[in-house]
Amino acid sequence: MTASPSQTGGVEAIVRTCIESVASDKNLPNAVVRRLIRLADSVASGELDPSARTQMERRIELVINGFDVTD
Amino acid sequence: MPDFRIRSDCRRWFQRILGKSDLKLLFDPYYLCFLIGVASGKRTRPTEGGIDAPAFVDTFPRPYDQQQRLLLGLMLAAELRGVDIDVTDRASVNEIVNDLAGVGGLTTAGVNVMNEYASGGFDELITRYEGQEPWSLDEFMPRYLRILDDLMTQGELALRW
Amino acid sequence: MKLQLTGIKAAGLRCAELDLSFGDTYPPQFTFIQMPNGTGKTTLAECLRAALSGEASTWDAERVRSFQRVTGSDGGLFEARFSFDGSPLAVGLKFDFIEETVSYYTTIHRGRVPKLNLPAPLARFADPGFVRLYIFDAELPQELLAGGSDRAEKAIDAFYQLYVLGQVSDAIQSYWESQVQGASTQQGLARHRNRLENLEKRRRQLAGALARNQTELNSVEAELQAKESELDDHLSQVQRYRHEKASLEEEFRDAEGELAKGMANAIGRLQRPLDAHPGFRAALDYLTAGLTSLKLPESTSREFFRDLAEQPTCICGAPMTADAREHIARAAEDLLADDAAGVVNALKNDVRSFQRDETCPALTVLADDLASLVRRRDTARNSLDLLVSEASEKADEAARNLKEHIDRLRLRQQTLAASVRALTREPQPDDDDESTCLKWFEQEIRRLEQVVAEATRLVVLREHKDDLREVLAAATQHAREAARRELVSAMNQRLASLLPGENLTVVDIRPYLILQGREGVNLGAMLSIGYSFLTTLFERGNHEFPFIVDAPTMGLDGLAREALADILPRATRQFVGFVLDNERDFTRRVRANEPDRCEFYTVFSDTSRNRPLADQVPVGTQAAEAGTYVIRGFDFFDKVMWTKNGEK
């Protein structure tokens, strides 16, 4: 993560940190955490509307696929 | 000419007697099923799992090429009987003939109808074979001849007007 | 997201008529608007809040009336102009005092729509509670500290967008539900897996049996061949046997030959429709006859000419001679058949001209013939076997033993061949887990593996879904607490500078601001606390909102005012304060801190009450058409006296 959230308009830094720490406690794969945060960023910045069902499903699929990524 | 299609289950059913002596081509069992189809008036769409059965040839092989117009004639007779059209009803006959054939031979519709009689005929054949499969040509041929004859002489199924 | 107030306009409402635009190109950091009581500060503040929260759609008739000018006006207009992330945005409220209704309009870029249509990022904050956090008056700080209000906690959620995590979590649940429609449960999966295991076991058994049988069959057949050959050699030592065998073999070859011919003949007949069955011949003949009686004159028809040639006289009346016939025949050849007529004619031609087997025996007869040819061949083969058998009987023991061995092998071969046939047959509809059809098992296993894979996928998906939702819920919780802790600590620092010596400490923000051990605080303290919370909060967010405050320092003493003036420049990018004349120490301090970033307006209506103010207006300045004075500039702002006697 290079850009800070206030520049990109995504979730607050504090929220991002909490997601990362809770996810690591749960041993979630890195790919999943990254994609989950990107999803939250998109919703927070208004880029993705949570009621846009098809797009949301697509993005959630990407997060779920992260479980199969070996990195 | 468009593709002739034979169902995979039909091909498998004939596999033990295909390739022996006089039943060399895949068209042979196809044709035998077609005769049964015309004799019984049975037509079904040859599909497998929702898609068309595989194509295997797109022209009449020898010696069927010589007889193709007569085969058209059989189909024509079956179709006219099937929809109860009098052979003297010129307009309807013209329509059906135009559907099935043109100057170059059978049309796509014509080949499709032929495929359907072959498919329906196969269904009728295995019904009359009572769930068994043919093991040799010696055993199959007499049985087939009797089945065909039976169909042709049974009251409702004989070709008549 | 950055929101700035760039101007306000009001007409026909219970406030001064005005149309103010802040700054020349962009609004300054501080805009102070000095308005005496009765100028309509309340009205303006309420309209501003409504513009950003959407609450005007809930106003009833009585509420709407409360905005009407005392002297009675038919209609009124309020418009707030903003810069939203650099683009112009205007929200307006149109009042109809006859119908007692109010409606919104929104202007973005050049388009105007007759409803409230805030851009998505801003619309998320269009909550009446939230809007009161940045457009407020002295009541707010009290509310922040009051039990029973969760304003403070909600503010945190809104600012840190913690609701986003909840939205994502809900969407994940919806996704899961849509995937799972009609699928197997965990129990179903276990059942399928069990059955799959059993099927596979059975399949392996059958496959093993097939392999063994096939191998044995091959070796049995090889041995059979060898032994038969051996026996033959043995017996052939006897001349009589040789002769008989030769003649029986000839008979067998003959029979086989005849059978082959018969078979070819039968198949050949079937391949000729006219011979295949009398019924086909009859149908084709009938068809041809019927079609012949059709007149098909659409195109010239070869058929016509052929028919004509067979007439005794030509159509012209002349007798049909051989020459005439030939002539007609040639002409017919030149013509092209070109449509259905051509096809039908060709068919009729074929029916007429094809050779027919005149005898055309019934198929049953043919079948019987074939059957008897098969019998003849089988009989010949049996005779050969019989010969071998008898010869072995009469021959020596070695021959007899060989024969017995051969017979056993034959039996074994038949059994094995039958078994192989049964194992390799095609699946039938009534096959099940007990059957012996290998292909059925392979097919069923493939199908079941698909089902299991799908069910497994869903079980795994559920685990992932649950994990993700737990993470999001826990992260929300943690983030809320972390935000609270951080805010509390930053707030207390700020409080220390706003109210030094008071030792006020905020302990928590859940759901309202909780002070350490204090029973109650005075208004000044409350305001300070409120400001420290708001400025701390807004400082942290990703989003810039303007503070629009009515009487910002009311209740604060001089020291607190100074402190506030020092804090504000850092805490907010835009501050719009509607001030009274007794807040001048505050405004002066702000101006001293940021001289280039302030703008000052004095606004009042041209009424008798405000005469003392109007008298001080610089010469040449007129009230605006609707009777409102708008004087821009710090001098007038700071020096104008509001009292009759010129004393403050």
**3-class SS string, chain B:** CCCEECCHHHHHHCCCCCCCCCCCCCHHHHHHHHHHHHHHCCCCCCEECCEECCEEECCCCCCHHHHHHHHHHHHHHHHHHHCCCCCCCHHHHHHHHHHHEECCEECHHHHHHHHHHHHHHHHHHHHHCCCCCCCCHHHHHHHHHHHHHHHHHCHHHCCCC
Mean pLDDT, range C310-315, rounded to an integer: 80
Interchain pair C161, A50: CB under 8 A: no
Interchain pair A63, C468: CB under 8 A: yes
Percent of chain C with pLDDT over 90: 37
Nearest to C94 by CA among C51, C52, C123: C51
Q: What pLDDT is stored for residue C333 in this prediction? A: 56
Query: Which among C282, C283, C363 has CB closest to B148?
Result: C363
CB C531, CB C563: distance < 8 Å: no
**B residues 99-158 near C, CB within 8 Å?**
101-103, 131, 133, 135, 137-138, 141-143, 145-146, 148-149, 152-153, 158
Q: What pLDDT is stored for residue C332 in this prediction? A: 63
Residues in chain B: 161
Number of Cβ within a 10 Å radius of residue C172: 23
Domains for chain C: give ranges and CATH numbers: 1-134+545-648 (3.40.50.300), 282-352 (no CATH)
Q: What confidence category does residue C392 fall into, taking pLDDT thresholds of 50, 70 and 90?
A: confident
**In Å, how far from its chain's centre is CA C29?**
46
The Cα–Cα gap between C150 and C164 comes to 19
Report the residue of chain C nearest A55, measured CA to CA.
Answer: C171
CB C599, CB C28: distance < 8 Å: yes
Interchain pair B149, C364: CB under 8 A: yes
Q: What pLDDT is stored for residue C637 in this prediction? A: 92
What are the C-alpha distances in Å from C406 to residues C217, C223, C224, C249? 14, 9, 6, 19
Question: Could you tell me which residue, C46 or C347, shows the higher pLDDT?
Answer: C46
Q: What is the CA radius of gyration of chain C?
A: 54
Q: What pLDDT is stored for residue B121 in this prediction? A: 94
C594 phi-psi bin (left φ>0, alpha ψ -120 to 50, beta other): beta
The Cα–Cα gap between A71 and C471 comes to 21
CB B69, CB C350: distance < 8 Å: yes
Q: What pLDDT is stored for residue C102 in this prediction? A: 94
pLDDT tens digit sequence for C396-405? 888 888 889 9
Residue C63 has pLDDT above 70, yes or no: yes
- Tell me the residue type at A1: M
Residue C129 has pLDDT above 80, yes or no: no
10-residue stretch averages of pLDDT, chain B, 161 residues long: 86 83 84 93 86 85 86 85 69 77 80 93 92 87 93 62 41
Interchain pair C351, B70: CB under 8 A: yes
Domain ranges of chain B: 4-66+112-157
Q: Please, what is the average pLDDT of chain C?
A: 85
The Cα–Cα gap between C572 and C30 comes to 9
pLDDT tens digit sequence for C168-199? 999 999 998 888 776 656 677 888 888 999 99
The Cα–Cα gap between B25 and B15 comes to 11
CA torsion angle A52 A54 A58 A61 (round to 10) = 100
Interchain pair B141, C370: CB under 8 A: yes
Q: What pLDDT is stored for residue A3 in this prediction? A: 34
Contacting A with CB below 8 Å, chain C residues are 1, 119-121, 124, 159-162, 164-165, 167-168, 170-172, 174-175, 178, 460-461, 464-465, 467-468, 470-472, 474-476, 478-479, 482-483, 486, 540-542
**Strand B51-52 versus strand B47-48 pairing type:** antiparallel
Interchain pair C470, A15: CB under 8 A: no
Chain C within 8 Å of B48 (Cβ-Cβ)?
Answer: no
Contacts of C164 in chain A (CB under 8 A): 11, 15, 40, 43-44
Question: Could you tell me which residue, C228 or C128, shows the higher pLDDT?
Answer: C228
Contacts of B32 in chain C (CB under 8 A): 270
Q: What confidence category does residue A5 fall into, taking pLDDT thresholds of 50, 70 and 90?
A: very low
The Cα–Cα gap between C50 and C132 comes to 10
Q: Do chains C and B touch (3 or more CB pairs under 8 A)?
A: yes
Chain C within 8 Å of B160 (Cβ-Cβ)?
Answer: yes
Q: What pLDDT is stored for residue C337 in this prediction? A: 38
Q: What pLDDT is stored for residue C534 in this prediction? A: 82
Q: What pLDDT is stored for residue C647 in this prediction? A: 44
Chain B within 8 Å of C124 (Cβ-Cβ)?
Answer: no
Torsion angles phi and psi, residue C608, rounded to 5: -65, -35
pLDDT tens digit sequence for C436-455? 899 999 999 999 888 888 88
Q: What confidence category does residue C368 fall into, taking pLDDT thresholds of 50, 70 and 90?
A: very high
What are the C-alpha distances in Å from C538 to residues A7, A11, C319, C571? 16, 15, 118, 7
Contacts of B37 in chain C (CB under 8 A): none
Cis peptide before C119 (omega within 30 of 0): no
Mean pLDDT, range C84-98, rounded to an integer: 93
Q: What pLDDT is stored for residue C247 in this prediction? A: 92
Residue C296 has pLDDT above 90, yes or no: no
Q: Do chains A and B touch (3 or more CB pairs under 8 A)?
A: no
- Tell me the residue type at C332: A
Query: Which among C362, C374, C421 has CB closest to B138?
Result: C374
Percent of chain A with pLDDT over 90: 39
Interchain pair C347, B70: CB under 8 A: yes
Q: What pLDDT is stored for residue C441 in this prediction? A: 94
Torsion angles phi and psi, residue C508, rounded to 5: -160, 165
Q: What pLDDT is stored for residue C299 in this prediction? A: 46
- Please report the sign of the dihedral spanned by the C-alpha atoms of residue C20, residue C21, residue C23, residue C24: negative
Q: What pLDDT is stored for residue B135 in this prediction? A: 85
- Give the ipTM: 0.91
Mean pLDDT, range A39-66, rounded to an integer: 88
Lowest mean pLDDT of B56-65, C463-472, C523-532, C597-606, name the range: C523-532
- Tell me the residue type at B131: G
Question: Could you tell me which residue, B79 or C33, shows the higher pLDDT?
Answer: C33
Q: Please, what is the average pLDDT of chain A?
A: 81
Mean pLDDT, range C528-556, rounded to an integer: 82
